[in-house]
Amino acid sequence: MSTAIYLNTARLGLMLPRVQRLYGDFLKFTGDEVSSLYFDKFIYFGFESLPNKIQKIYPFLSDWKGISNFKKSLKSILSVPLYATTDAKILLANRSCQLMKLGANLLFLKSPKVLTTDLEWPQYKAILKQQKEFLGGKIKTVDLRSFILEDNCTREDLISRVISAYDKYDCDGLFISHITFEGFRLPVEDIVKIITSQKKKPSFVVVDGSQSFSHSPLNILEYSDFYITGCHKWLRAWHPMGLAFCSQSNSVEFITTIYRQMLEKGKLDDPLLNFTNQLELGSNSAFTETVNLNSLFSAAAAVANILEGNQSMEQKFKKLVEQVEKLEAVSINYHWTPLVKNDSLKSGIGLIKSTKPSIRALTPKQLRASFQSHGIDLTAYGKGIIRISAPIKELDINDYKLFHKALDFCHS
Ligand SMILES: Cc1ncc(COP(=O)(O)O)c(C=O)c1O
């Protein structure tokens, strides 16, 4: 059965119609003009650099306005005043894990003791550990998962638990998710604010924003040195691309020096990061790896879509949370329990657990397939846990009927 309800944006967001249209024209343009001067001009200077006759043939390419304008438009959707400063910097990479590698290096160069949580994305935690082995330093972990799920903690409890661990282990750096892969919205702004007011500002803060960019408001940028995210989840540009926002003016120079050193020494292996760095430096080596630039164009169309929309990030976030709550409310009738109880920790990603032993015994693959057979795509984990991420469009009565049917099937 094809997918009728897509509840998997936390993994890969569905491609926006605007991105699809751009891709259609991009494929034609590439096929027709790849070897012409127009193609190079388009990449570097954008649609406006093309002659009128070419613009008329491929009108949906108009969202691409060149790399520096793309970075400017990214800054404008962040709507954080600090971000208007010219010091703020954005890095673009084909693979977000290379940005995490850079983030881990920055952390250990500045902070010998880094505090993190047990809620972090496993691959990023492994990168943090690897870089610690190379550079020296210590990682301390504060356990939050059972505190949230079993002890039903409040936002304030969570803040004080993180801050006491930070004090106890005498840490001076932080690596933490803004919204975790399981959908817990962590109060990172308050944690950094309180540490700064009670002790001293952490030497370096890296925030994993993979699940929060274009999902929730980003006041966090005022409190993080290095915020890592991607374009393929909530931005719905579909083509994977990593972004890092460096918004603290006192760390931008340090970050720039380190990432350039790492690129030169081959310690960062990312063609797009290398390409954009060469552009910034005004150098153009003929011997760099061939780089896939497609993700730039799709992200530009997705960003243009936000800029032309009239919904604030606060409104968008509120709606996404409500959509998840509605689905959670349905699931309760079929012996499923929503796992996050405290409103302030909720996001547009919900975690629901079945109370039935037969469902808990299914493998994640079997559980996911059971929903897929009813036209619902979501993420399934072991022990009868599913993760639903809010659909972008409001679900209608027929969608709810399908959801009821899938849950009823699991129930019977
Ligand atoms: C919190 C979090 N961090 C990092 C990642 C990895 O992101 P990417 O898809 O860019 O590899 C994910 C992926 O789901 C995630 O949920």
In tens, the pLDDT along 250-300 reads 899 999 999 999 999 999 999 999 999 988 888 766 566 778 899 999 999
- Taking CA atoms only, the protein residue closest to ligand 1 atom 11 is 96
Q: Angle formed by the axes of helices 17-33 and 37-45, to 10°?
A: 150
Nearest C-alpha neighbor of 124 from the set 79, 55, 80, 175: 175
Tokens 């990449």 identify what position? 43
The rounded Å distance from CA 232 to ligand 1 centre is 10
Q: Per residue in 42-81, pLDDT tens? A: 888 999 999 999 999 999 999 999 988 998 899 888 766 5
Strand ordering across the sheet containing 173-177 = 89-93, 242-246, 226-230, 204-208, 173-177, 113-117, 138-142
The Cα–Cα gap between 107 and 112 comes to: 8
pTM of the full structure: 0.95
What's the mean pLDDT when you consider all of the chain? 91
- Which is the closest atom of ligand 1 to the Cα of 232? 9
Nearest C-alpha neighbor of 259 from the set 248, 244, 239: 244
Q: In the chain, which segments carry CATH 3.90.1150.10?
A: 312-411
Nearest C-alpha neighbor of 316 from the set 79, 22, 148: 79
The rounded Å distance from CA 387 to ligand 1 centre is 14
| 95 contact partners, CB below 8 Å, separation of at least 6 | 240, 242, 270
Q: Give pLDDT, residue 193.
A: 94
Q: In the chain, which segments carry CATH 3.40.640.10?
A: 67-308
Residue 248 in this model has a pLDDT that exceeds 70? yes
Average pLDDT over residues 188-197: 95
The rounded Å distance from CA 114 to ligand 1 centre is 20
- Which is the closest atom of ligand 1 to the Cα of 179? 1
The percentage of the chain sitting over the pLDDT mark of 90, rounded to a whole number, equals 74
- Which is the closest atom of ligand 1 to the Cα of 230? 10
- Which is the closest atom of ligand 1 to the Cα of 233? 9
Taking a C-beta distance cutoff of 8 angstroms, is the pair 333, 355 a contact? no
Taking a C-beta distance cutoff of 8 angstroms, is the pair 187, 346 a contact? no
Q: Give pLDDT, residue 187.
A: 96
Taking a C-beta distance cutoff of 8 angstroms, is the pair 18, 63 a contact? yes
Residue 84 in this model has a pLDDT that exceeds 60? no
The rounded Å distance from CA 10 to ligand 1 centre is 8
Q: Give pLDDT, residue 291.
A: 85
Average pLDDT over residues 8-25: 95
The Cα–Cα gap between 209 and 244 comes to: 9
The rounded Å distance from CA 216 to ligand 1 centre is 16
Average pLDDT over residues 205-218: 95
Structure tokens at 68: 């520096």
- Taking CA atoms only, the protein residue closest to ligand 1 atom 8 is 96
Q: Give pLDDT, residue 233.
A: 96
The rounded Å distance from CA 126 to ligand 1 centre is 13
The rounded Å distance from CA 178 to ligand 1 centre is 12
- Taking CA atoms only, the protein residue closest to ligand 1 atom 1 is 181
> Of 21-25, 81-85, 107-111, 333-337, where does mean pLDDT reach its minimum?
81-85
> Of 32-41, 92-101, 245-254, 298-307, where does mean pLDDT reach its minimum?
32-41
Q: Give pLDDT, residue 107.
A: 97
Architecture label for domain 312-411? Alpha-Beta Complex (3.90)
- Which is the closest atom of ligand 1 to the Cα of 208? 3
Q: Per residue in 362-412, pLDDT tens? A: 999 999 999 999 999 999 998 999 999 998 888 889 888 888 888 887 656
Residue 339 in this model has a pLDDT that exceeds 70? yes
Average pLDDT over residues 308-313: 87
- Which is the closest atom of ligand 1 to the Cα of 177? 1
The percentage of the chain sitting over the pLDDT mark of 70, rounded to a whole number, equals 94
Ligand 1 pocket test, candidate residues 92, 96, 118, 270, most atoms within 8 A of CB: 96
Average pLDDT over residues 7-31: 93
Select the highest-mean-pLDDT range: 36-45, 165-174, 216-225.
165-174
pLDDT band, residue 309 (cuts 50/70/90):
confident
Structure tokens at 357: 């032993």
- CATH number for domain 67-308, candidates 3.30.2350.10, 2.70.210.12, 3.40.50.1820, 3.40.640.10: 3.40.640.10
- Taking CA atoms only, the protein residue closest to ligand 1 atom 15 is 181
The Cα–Cα gap between 67 and 307 comes to: 17
Q: Give pLDDT, residue 408.
A: 80
As for ligand 1, residues whose beta carbon falls within 6 Å of it are 11, 96, 121, 124, 177, 180-181, 208, 210-211, 230, 242
Q: Give pLDDT, residue 284.
A: 66
Tell me the C-alpha to C-alpha distance, in Å, between residue 268 and each of 100, 103, 123, 245, 313: 10, 11, 16, 17, 33
